Amino acid sequence: MLSKKVVLTFPQPLLDKAIVYRLIKDYNLIFNILQARITPDEEGVMILEIRGKREDYKAGVDYLRETGVKVRPLNESIFWRESECTHCGLCTDVCPTQALTLERPEMRVRFEKKRCIACELCISLCPVRAIERRVNKKRKSDEDI
Protein backbone atom coordinates (compact mmCIF):
# COMPACT_ATOMS: atom_id res chain seq x y z
CA MET A 1 0.00 0.00 0.00
CA LEU A 2 1.42 3.33 -1.11
CA SER A 3 0.91 6.53 0.90
CA LYS A 4 1.72 10.00 -0.44
CA LYS A 5 1.06 13.58 0.55
CA VAL A 6 0.22 15.84 -2.36
CA VAL A 7 -0.82 19.44 -2.92
CA LEU A 8 -3.74 19.95 -5.32
CA THR A 9 -4.37 23.36 -6.86
CA PHE A 10 -7.80 23.93 -8.40
CA PRO A 11 -8.24 26.82 -10.83
CA GLN A 12 -11.24 29.04 -10.10
CA PRO A 13 -13.60 27.39 -12.68
CA LEU A 14 -13.16 24.03 -10.94
CA LEU A 15 -13.85 25.24 -7.41
CA ASP A 16 -17.52 24.18 -7.33
CA LYS A 17 -16.97 20.86 -9.11
CA ALA A 18 -17.04 17.56 -7.23
CA ILE A 19 -13.72 16.13 -8.38
CA VAL A 20 -11.83 14.61 -5.48
CA TYR A 21 -14.53 12.16 -4.39
CA ARG A 22 -13.91 10.20 -7.61
CA LEU A 23 -10.53 9.14 -6.20
CA ILE A 24 -12.53 6.94 -3.84
CA LYS A 25 -15.38 5.99 -6.13
CA ASP A 26 -13.49 5.26 -9.37
CA TYR A 27 -9.87 4.72 -8.31
CA ASN A 28 -10.16 2.77 -5.05
CA LEU A 29 -8.08 5.32 -3.18
CA ILE A 30 -8.45 6.53 0.40
CA PHE A 31 -7.53 10.06 1.34
CA ASN A 32 -7.39 12.41 4.31
CA ILE A 33 -7.76 16.13 3.72
CA LEU A 34 -4.94 17.76 5.70
CA GLN A 35 -5.68 21.33 4.63
CA ALA A 36 -8.09 23.07 2.27
CA ARG A 37 -8.07 26.77 1.45
CA ILE A 38 -9.11 29.31 -1.16
CA THR A 39 -6.17 31.59 -1.97
CA PRO A 40 -6.45 35.35 -2.58
CA ASP A 41 -6.07 34.54 -6.31
CA GLU A 42 -9.26 32.47 -5.96
CA GLU A 43 -7.56 29.19 -6.53
CA GLY A 44 -8.38 26.26 -4.31
CA VAL A 45 -5.49 24.56 -2.53
CA MET A 46 -6.00 21.18 -0.91
CA ILE A 47 -3.40 19.03 0.79
CA LEU A 48 -4.25 15.35 0.74
CA GLU A 49 -2.69 12.22 2.12
CA ILE A 50 -3.60 9.53 -0.42
CA ARG A 51 -3.34 5.79 0.16
CA GLY A 52 -3.89 2.92 -2.23
CA LYS A 53 -2.29 0.65 -4.77
CA ARG A 54 0.46 2.21 -6.87
CA GLU A 55 -1.40 1.71 -10.16
CA ASP A 56 -4.61 3.18 -8.71
CA TYR A 57 -2.66 6.15 -7.35
CA LYS A 58 -1.09 6.82 -10.75
CA ALA A 59 -4.48 6.54 -12.51
CA GLY A 60 -6.05 8.85 -9.93
CA VAL A 61 -3.34 11.48 -10.36
CA ASP A 62 -3.68 11.23 -14.15
CA TYR A 63 -7.43 11.80 -13.77
CA LEU A 64 -6.88 14.88 -11.59
CA ARG A 65 -4.44 16.36 -14.08
CA GLU A 66 -6.77 15.65 -17.02
CA THR A 67 -9.51 17.65 -15.27
CA GLY A 68 -7.15 20.62 -14.91
CA VAL A 69 -6.04 20.16 -11.31
CA LYS A 70 -2.36 20.83 -10.67
CA VAL A 71 -0.81 18.04 -8.60
CA ARG A 72 2.54 18.21 -6.89
CA PRO A 73 4.16 16.27 -4.08
CA LEU A 74 4.48 17.73 -0.63
CA ASN A 75 8.23 17.36 -0.46
CA GLU A 76 9.39 20.85 -1.18
CA SER A 77 10.96 23.44 1.02
CA ILE A 78 9.87 26.98 1.64
CA PHE A 79 12.54 29.61 2.14
CA TRP A 80 11.93 32.91 3.87
CA ARG A 81 14.43 35.66 3.14
CA GLU A 82 14.44 37.71 6.29
CA SER A 83 16.54 40.43 4.68
CA GLU A 84 13.78 41.02 2.09
CA CYS A 85 10.87 40.84 4.52
CA THR A 86 9.15 44.10 5.50
CA HIS A 87 7.30 42.38 8.38
CA CYS A 88 3.94 43.47 7.00
CA GLY A 89 2.38 40.32 8.49
CA LEU A 90 0.21 39.42 5.48
CA CYS A 91 1.61 35.91 5.26
CA THR A 92 0.92 35.17 8.91
CA ASP A 93 -2.84 35.54 8.32
CA VAL A 94 -2.94 32.59 5.90
CA CYS A 95 -0.35 30.23 7.34
CA PRO A 96 -2.34 27.21 8.56
CA THR A 97 0.40 25.81 10.79
CA GLN A 98 1.72 28.98 12.43
CA ALA A 99 5.07 28.45 10.77
CA LEU A 100 4.92 32.18 10.05
CA THR A 101 3.96 34.23 13.07
CA LEU A 102 3.97 37.87 14.00
CA GLU A 103 5.79 38.44 17.25
CA ARG A 104 4.44 41.14 19.50
CA PRO A 105 5.12 43.77 20.67
CA GLU A 106 8.07 43.92 18.26
CA MET A 107 5.71 43.27 15.28
CA ARG A 108 8.34 41.19 13.55
CA VAL A 109 7.65 38.06 11.56
CA ARG A 110 9.28 34.79 12.57
CA PHE A 111 9.53 31.65 10.42
CA GLU A 112 9.73 28.20 12.02
CA LYS A 113 10.76 25.91 9.20
CA LYS A 114 9.90 22.70 11.04
CA ARG A 115 6.23 23.73 11.23
CA CYS A 116 5.97 24.50 7.51
CA ILE A 117 4.05 22.01 5.35
CA ALA A 118 4.96 23.77 2.07
CA CYS A 119 1.35 24.50 1.19
CA GLU A 120 2.52 27.70 -0.58
CA LEU A 121 -0.43 29.77 0.62
CA CYS A 122 1.96 32.47 1.74
CA ILE A 123 3.98 32.79 -1.48
CA SER A 124 1.55 34.62 -3.70
CA LEU A 125 0.60 36.96 -0.87
CA CYS A 126 4.05 38.36 -0.20
CA PRO A 127 4.33 41.77 -1.88
CA VAL A 128 8.14 41.71 -1.94
CA ARG A 129 8.61 38.02 -2.83
CA ALA A 130 10.48 37.28 0.35
CA ILE A 131 9.14 33.71 0.38
CA GLU A 132 10.01 31.15 -2.25
CA ARG A 133 9.59 27.47 -2.96
CA ARG A 134 12.61 25.27 -3.57
CA VAL A 135 12.20 21.83 -5.05
CA ASN A 136 13.76 18.90 -3.26
CA LYS A 137 16.68 17.78 -5.43
CA LYS A 138 15.78 14.12 -5.00
CA ARG A 139 12.70 14.67 -7.15
CA LYS A 140 13.34 14.97 -10.88
CA SER A 141 10.14 16.76 -11.95
CA ASP A 142 6.50 17.36 -11.12
CA GLU A 143 5.71 14.20 -13.06
CA ASP A 144 7.82 12.17 -10.62
CA ILE A 145 5.34 11.92 -7.80
What is the rounded distance in angstroms from the CA atom of residue 134 to the CA atom of residue 127?
19
In angstroms, give the least distance from the CB of 60 to ligand SF4: 24
Q: Which window, 21-29, 37-45, 116-124, 134-142, contacts ligand SF4 (CB under 6 A)?
A: 116-124
H or E element, residue 81: none
If the CB atoms of residues 25 and 114 are measured against ligand SF4, the closer one turns out to be 114
Nearer to ligand SF4, 23 or 131 (CB): 131
Residue 94: exposure state from Cβ atoms within 10 A (0-12, 13-18, ≥19): middle
Report if residue 36 touches ligand SF4, rule: CB under 6 A.
no
Beta strands in the chain (DSSP E): 2-10, 30-38, 44-52, 70-73, 77-80, 100-103, 108-111, 131-134
Taking the C-alpha atoms of residue 8 and residue 34, their distance in angstroms, rounded to an integer, is 11
Q: What is the dihedral of CA 97, 121, 101, 133, to 10 degrees?
A: 100
Binding test (CB under 6 A) with ligand SF4, winner from 29, 45, 50, 119: 119
Please report whether residue 59 would count as binding ligand SF4 according to CB under 6 A: no
By CB under 6 A, name the one of 3, 67, 86, 136 that touches ligand SF4: 86
Task: Pick one of 59, 117, 135, 145: the residue that binds ligand SF4 (CB under 6 A).
Answer: 117
* CB closer to ligand SF4, 27 vs 92: 92
Asked if 8 touches ligand SF4 (CB under 6 A), the answer is no
Number of residues that bind ligand SF4 (CB under 6 A): 28
